Chain A
Amino acid sequence: MRRDGTFIAVEVDDQSAADANLARKLTEACPVDIFAQGGGGLLEIVEKNLDECVLCRLCLDASPAGAVKIIKLYDDSAVLA
């Protein structure tokens, strides 16, 4: 699953996106509400908030390595490490 804003894109691998427990953690972690839980507790990316990403890495800390990618579209698509 990937969603693109003007400056920031967020990509979550399919297996993680289907994990309701991870979806809850991401929803709690992100300070600018980029993640939400939809039907069945599944992960949703809130497109209107994508460009609010403050690059805080909290979502990366809350998920298994490589499951979530924060991509800086303005910086040759550099991935937040």
Chain B
Amino acid sequence: MRFFEFEAREVIKRAGIPVTDYGFTTDAAEAREIAQRIGGPTVIKSQVLTGGRMKAGGVRFADTPEEAESHAREILALEIGGHMPRGVLVDPKAEVEQEYYAGVVWDGIRKQPVMIFSPVGGIDIEQVAEEQPDKVGRRHFSNILPFSDFQAKEVIASTGVSGPELNKLVPILTRLAKVFVEHDMVLAEINPLGRLSDGSFVALDAHMDIENEARGRHRRLLADLGVGDEETRQAREATPFELAGELVDATDHRGVAGNVTEFDGNLGLVIGAGGGSLTLFDAVRAHGGEPANYCEIGGNPSVAKACGLAKLVLQKPGVDKIAVMMSIVSNTRVDIVARGVIKACLELGHDPGEKIAIFRIPGAWEEEGFKILERYGVDYADRSVSLNEAARRAVEKIQGVAA
């Protein structure tokens, strides 16, 4: 779940990282009052969860409180990338000598957070990494043990920053690491982190993203920030198809059969198992297939639940066939999933042998499962057929239908 900039700044402020004397408001007249309190040139920034706000006119500079009010009024009515702003942030226009970057991201491959620092800030860190790789320092760290001053020094010093600058940056990085770990974040980024003329540092912008699943652990913070339970902050609203998928999964407590995302292809997917969903989805696309959906099935769902998911996918307009594929599973019974998807076909009046392009789930109770599949003439594959090959066969069949 992404935070708006004004929320991320509040989180940073609470962590003891210096921020400017900004104010957030949803009202243009109040923007003027904030600018008056700040007493000097200000920046009015649209609070939207999308990029490109500068280009779209969502960041404007004001010399007077009147100008701040007028900019705020315009920005509050300005849609950016399909998003209306939550409000505006009124920020003092800081006299910055140099802009830096400090960020922590979750490295899904190493399963550890990685601290990233650069003395070149204010632009995308990817661009700095590409153009000036020696100016980007990185270090993985434990999400159990605290990120130490020494580790922070190592990252900063690796980019050539030294002396008092380095010493002032150390607590910012260690506090940022703490915020990241304590709040179950996947991203905590300060960009730019400005060095002012007196040598002090101040966060000028911040981006944060916490694990959706961790929301329950941070109720208090979310309540303080005014984030309601109903606020999903997804890139788009769930479609009726996706909401129906949630209902299928809520049918009973057994296993998972849901987490559906809608696409507009013709091959319905009933896929899962330990990362198998993503791998299979990618494999289908790599072979030129057009998935109608993404979903996750696993953890031994009931027959009714597997049936419900398969029915939902089969009934999606444009779906010609479904592919039922999982990695090798030990905790989901092959025969139970086979019963579920075949039942879905039968109840909708389809021939399972026609509608199921491939069934590739090897694992627990597979002999029993294969008996069921044979009985209904469903093309199935055992573990000697890779996920990639299974996806290829499914695509081949659906392309045969389309041809």
CB contacts (< 8 Å) of B376 on chain A: these are 74
Let me know if B339 and A7 touch, CB within 8 A: yes
- Interface bits A7-51 vs B (CB < 8 Å: 1, else 0): 100000000000000000000000010000000000000000001
What band does the interface of chain B fall in when counting residues whose beta carbon is under 8 Å from A? 10 to 19
Q: Is the interface of A mostly helix, strand, loop or mixed?
A: loop
In chain A between 54 and 78, which residues have their CB closer than 8 angstroms to a CB of chain B?
54-55, 72, 74-75
Q: Are B371 and A75 in contact (CB under 8 A)?
A: yes
| Pair count A-B, CB < 8 A | 25
Tell me how many residues of A have a C-beta within 8 Å of chain B: 10
Main secondary structure on B side of the interface with A: helix
Determine whether B372 belongs to the interface, using a CB cutoff of 8 Å to chain A. yes
With A7-B372, A74-B375 already in contact, the answer to whether A54 and B339 are too (CB < 8 A) is no
> Within the complex, which residue of A32, A52, A54, A74 is in contact with B372, where a contact is CB–CB below 8 Å?
A74
B347's nearest neighbour on chain A, judged by CB, is A6
A51 B343 Cβ-Cβ under 8 A: yes
Q: Are B333 and A6 in contact (CB under 8 A)?
A: no
Contact B304 A52, beta carbon cutoff 8 Å: yes
Query: Are B303 and A52 in contact, CB atoms less than 8 angstroms apart?
Result: yes
Q: Is the CB of B336 within 8 A of A54?
A: yes
- Contact residues of B between 102 and 151, Cβ < 8 Å to A: none
Measured in the bound complex, the distance between the Cα atoms of B372 and A27 in whole Å is 27
B300-348 contacts to A, CB under 8 A, are 302-304, 333, 336, 339, 342-343, 346
Q: Determine which residue in A51, A55, A75 has the highest number of CB atoms from chain B within 10 A of its CB, and name it.
A: A51
Question: Is the Cβ of B303 less than 8 Å from the Cβ of A51?
Answer: yes
Give me 15 other A-B pairs in contact (C-beta within 8 A), A7-B339, A54-B333, A74-B372 excluded.
Answer: A6-B339, A6-B342, A6-B346, A7-B343, A7-B372, A32-B302, A51-B339, A52-B302, A52-B304, A54-B336, A72-B371, A74-B371, A74-B376, A75-B368, A75-B375
Binding site for B on A (CB under 8 A): 6-7, 32, 51-52, 54-55, 72, 74-75
5 contacts between A and B (CB under 8 A): A6-B342, A6-B343, A7-B339, A7-B372, A75-B371
